[in-house]
Structure 1
Amino acid sequence: MGSQATATSFRLTVVGCSGSYPGPESPASCYLVQAERDGRTWSLVVDLGNGALGALQRYVDPLEVDAVLLSHLHADHCVDMTSYYVLRKYHPRGTQPQIPVWGPSGTDVRLANAYDLPMETGMREEFEFHTFDGAFTVGPFEIEPFAVDHPVEAYGMRISAETEESGRRTLAYSGDTGLTPSLLEIAADADLFLCEASFRHGDDNPPSLHLSGTECGEVAAKGKVKRLVITHVPPWHDAQGMLSESLAVFDGPTELAAQGAVYGI
């Protein structure tokens, strides 16, 4: 289980970690990243896949989210943005102010199409869309995106923040990807590496799509990460098998992501 972070920590909450589609124990991909600055909590939502908006409300008021980062535009990572649009536009407290959304090129068009909205306006009154293009900041967070290897434009990222407890700390997120050199840049010396493992090693897996548990562990070892959390295991696979594959090649602290787990970074 994830360690419980203190109220002043830079922390990650797993909102959804099921790979490719929601499972019986978790929604699809969604991660809440929080840190304190200027007397308040800053909140990033990283991906918002199938079923995730419902679970997100257990951990944060959706109206208090500061920004959304979408690693790519497959439905299991972004489709609940359509429901989030409804929540922000039609809330009884009134239409909410725009919040920034970072994602691949065409994110605004993809989401407008997903909700059958006219292209002239789409969701641009509710969300301020930005394309990943170099490092940027949101409150206490410094975010650095990296292109990864997936059938659509896709990104992993490093999210860093200064903490009173331990100084500068870094959360690395693989996004969805096959093996690619940028993964080592993402993982390098990360305090926590949130890495997908969707394939069983040794199966006839397609290239340029996902990692196996073994590959996930190998990247963690080469990147000398402090802690590995394995995520995005599809419900049709045995998650414990993915864990075993990674443990065979990475001897650092390793565990499976679980819906509701909280990790201090």
Structure 2
Amino acid sequence: MKVIVLGSSGSVGAPENPASGYLILPSTGAGVLMDLGPGVLGQLQRHHDPNDAHVVFSHLHADHCLDFPSLMVWRRYHPQAPAAGRNLLFGPAATFDHLGRLSADEPDQIDDMSDTFAFSAWKAHQTEILGSVNITPYPMIHPVETYALRIEEHRTGAVLAYSGDTAWTSELIECARDADVLLCEATWGASSEGKAPDMHLSGAEAGRIAREAGVKRLVLVHIPPWGDPEAALAAAREEFSGPVEVSYSGMEIDC
């Protein structure tokens, strides 16, 4: 299983790094697009057919979902190769209404996406099968309904964990337990001291989560353009003795 970082900037896109979006490519079967922030669809076109991927959302803040209406245009109206059938779509309970309003023609309408996606809402800790991977959502601490996601490939047993956006919670440790790779947000840089509560993690907290979960590799994500990736990296390495890297657009990760 391979993961391509399409974008991993936090809160807003950066000049060389779109907001959150990750392409999961199992060894067999359809890909999975995990989050779809501004700028991600453009990067997706470099690596994969936008019509050939299931879509999953950790949560519905704009920096994680705002390219979805553009994906709908691609799938429906591409002049040579529109989507031939439906893919699966998973996300928080409000996904259908929230994203349907974004892609509707009128302010009070909700675009019915069922022509191109079959939507189901996450239920905490309930594993869903998407082609050749299982995905299990774990509830996180954030101002909106938010999940960390544990992705397990059937054939190889490889495990990828993704924090989404969250403050410190033991649920993330369980989500990442013994994972081959943890994509963990480190929005606050080195430390979360004095920062807004119930919002995000620091590099030190990401490192501690990786250590307590026993992951093999930690990749830091969701650092905003005004953030300090080097401070986040150094703090994570103080807590976690395994490999730690800062993500970038185009990064390829083997699980």
The two structures have a TM-score, normalised by structure 1, of 0.90
What is the alpha-carbon root mean square deviation over aligned residues?
1.4
Instruction: Work out the CA distance in 1 between the residues paired with 2:233 and 2:75.
Output: 38
Partner amino acid for 2:27? E
1:60 to 48, 59, 73: 48
* Percent identical residues: 39
Instruction: Work out the CA distance in 1 between the residues paired with 2:131 and 2:236.
Output: 34
Partner amino acid for 2:164? G
Task: State the number of aligned residues.
Answer: 249
Match of 2:137 in 1: 145
Give how far 1:99 is off.
Answer: 1.5
User: Residue 240 and residue 95 in structure 1: after superposition, are their counterparts in 2 closer, same or farther (change >3 A)?
Assistant: same
CA deviation vs aligned residue, 1:43-71 (integer Å, no higher than 9, x gap) = 00000001100011111011222x10010
The correspondence of residues 75-224 of structure 1 with structure 2, limited to 5 A, is 75-93=62-80, 95-96=82-83, 97-117=85-105, 119=109, 121-133=111-123, 134-163=126-155, 167-200=156-189, 201=191, 203-224=193-214
Does the aligned pair in 2 maintain the 1:89–1:126 contact within 8 Å? yes
Instruction: Work out the CA distance in 1 between the residues paired with 2:111 and 2:60.
Output: 19
Match of 1:3 in 2: none
Structure 2 unmatched ranges of 5 or more = none
Partner amino acid for 1:20? S
Instruction: Work out the CA distance in 2 between the residues paired with 1:72 and 1:120.
Output: 19
Partner amino acid for 1:186? C
CA deviation vs aligned residue, 1:175-207 (integer Å, no higher than 9, x gap) = 100011201111111110110010131542111
The two structures have a TM-score, normalised by structure 2, of 0.93
Structure 1 unmatched ranges of 5 or more = 1-9
**Structure with higher RCO (Cα < 8 A, 6+ apart):** 1
Does the aligned pair in 2 maintain the 1:108–1:124 contact within 8 Å? no
Instruction: Work out the CA distance in 2 between the residues paired with 1:202 and 1:98.
Output: 42
Does the aligned pair in 1 maintain the 2:6–2:250 contact within 8 Å? yes
Instruction: Work out the CA distance in 1 between the residues paired with 2:193 and 2:213.
Output: 25
Match of 1:12 in 2: 3
Does the aligned pair in 1 maintain the 2:101–2:110 contact within 8 Å? no
Match of 1:72 in 2: 59
Match of 2:223 in 1: 233
Match of 1:29 in 2: 20
Partner amino acid for 2:241? D
Partner amino acid for 1:77? H
Q: Partner of 1:113: helix, strand, or coil?
A: helix
